[in-house]
Structure 1
Amino acid sequence: MIKIYVKKIIDNSHAKTWDDAVLEWGIYNCEEDESLTESCVCGKENLRYLYTIINRITNYQLHPIGSVCIKKFKRGDLNAEIAINEQLFKILKAVENKEYISLDSKYFSKKLLRYFYDNDVFQKNSYNNGDAYNDYIFLLNIFNKRNKDNITANQHKKINALILNNIKPYLKQKLSIRKKSL
């Protein structure tokens, strides 16, 4: 199984060694398959997260790839991207299921909040004085609070507004979930 995967990566890379070839690849897309019907190009079955990877030099794409195979690249940047994608799907499911989303480590991380800021998820408006950075800092400060019982009703409203008006639309646009067919 792994030999097939390694061969596909090297054959579709400019470099001809594994160590050099893995540096050419990046994550292009990710979707979640709730029915677990897809198999990785390596042969592993029942994938939940279906990644498409692309070679930046040859433009060749491989799909579907499981996160375990991407982790075989041993690249911190790709591992971090996998972790962010899985958090994004977790939040999207919670929003779609109308679950209460608390600003804690169940759904969020400092890296995820930074990801949202870096990807322009927070919009400039009169509530943040025309600076989306203020929303990022607000969420980061609340996330870092040791005692979440001290969060005011207005802070809770602002958190919910940011999740529903900024984060949810971003997730719906960015992520694709394959639903189980009836």
Structure 2
Amino acid sequence: MTTESFHRLTRAVIAASVANEWSAAVMEWDVTELEEDPIGSGECVCGQQELVLLFTITNKRNGAQLYPIGSTCVQKFGRTDLNRQVTLYSDLFRLRAAILDNKHIALTSEYFSRAMIEYLNDEGAFTPDQWDADGGYAFILDMFNKRKKDEITRPQRAKITVLLNRKVLPFVLADASLG
């Protein structure tokens, strides 16, 4: 990132923030959406061109939004939680692409992480039902965390498949934050 690009970024962020200093302004923002521009015609608020992944960040204090912004610029905020949000949205986007490509989705680190499973629970993917008061969240997390995957029984594998196909995958497909 050039110095001029960073100056454009800081001006855009401060102009849309309540705070008028970079160090305080960066604390006001969250990543709220991600969309893909397959031809790479997106241009970041800093001026960087040819963006493929276009993030939207939203100001928690005043509701302002900056779009599109690239992951490199979000990293310039210097916030670990924002970097995790970028990773989470990128992973969710990759999972949705795999679902749309009719790939076999298994409960592995290829498509899932603890952070993603927690996000899915927080956002309501695991709705309570007659079998699980928590909608299967604790079960899925427990199965994901198993070190010895070969110890997962056939009934447990069946339950994983049901939860993925009936709850997780439809939720990811319908997630409006993945434009």
Do both share a fold (TM > 0.5)?
yes
Q: Is the 8 A contact 1:50 1:63 kept in 2?
A: yes
1:157 corresponds to: 158
Q: What secondary structure does 1:126 align onto?
A: coil
Letter in 1 for 2:140: L
**Matching residue of 1:122:** 126
Distance 1:17 1:109, change over 3 A: same
33, 50, 54: which is aligned to 1:50? 54
Question: In the alignment, what sits opposite 2:100?
Answer: 96
Change in CA separation of 1:59 and 1:110 when aligned onto 2, cut-off 3 Å: closer
**Aligned 8 A contact 1:34 1:177 in 2:** no
Mapping for residues 24-173 of structure 1, pairs under 5 Å:
24-128=28-132, 131-132=133-134, 135-173=136-174
Report the AA paired with residue 3 of structure 1: H
Cα shift at 1:12 = 2.2
Q: 1:36: Cα distance to partner?
A: 2.1
TM (norm. structure 1) is 0.86
Q: What is the distance in 2 between the residues matched to 1:137 and 1:176?
A: 24
Q: Which sections of structure 1, spanning at least 5 residues, go unmatched?
A: none
SS of the residue 1:127 aligns to: coil
CA contact (8 A) 2:33 2:178 kept: no
User: Structure 1 121/177 Cα, relative in aligned 2: closer, same or farther at 3 Å?
Assistant: closer
Could you tell me how far 1:70 is from its partner in structure 2? 0.9
> 1:137–1:21: structure 2 CA closer, same or farther, 3 Å change rule?
same
- Distance in 1 (CA, whole Å) between partners of 2:160 and 2:35 is 26
Cα distance change on mapping 1:119 and 1:7 into 2, 3 Å? same
Are the counterparts in 1 of residues 98 and 105 from structure 2 also a CA contact under 8 Å? yes
SS of alignment partner, residue 32 of structure 2: strand
- The amino acid across from 2:87 in the alignment is A
Counterpart code for 1:146? R
The amino acid across from 1:22 in the alignment is V
Q: What SS does structure 2 have at the residue aligned with 1:100?
A: coil
Mark the CA change 1:176 to 1:54 in structure 2 (over 3 Å): closer, same or farther: closer
Supply the distance in 2 between the matched residues of 1:145 and 1:154 (Cα, whole angstroms).
15
3-state SS, counterpart of residue 67 of structure 2 = strand
Is contact 1:30-1:175 (8 Å) kept? no
Contact 1:53 1:65 in 2 (8 A): yes
Superposition CA RMSD, Å: 1.9
1:21 corresponds to = 25
Q: Which runs of 4+ in 1 moved over 6 A?
A: none
For the residue of structure 1 that corresponds to 2:131, the secondary structure is: helix
How many correspondences in the alignment? 175
CA distance in 2, matches of 1:55, 1:25: 4
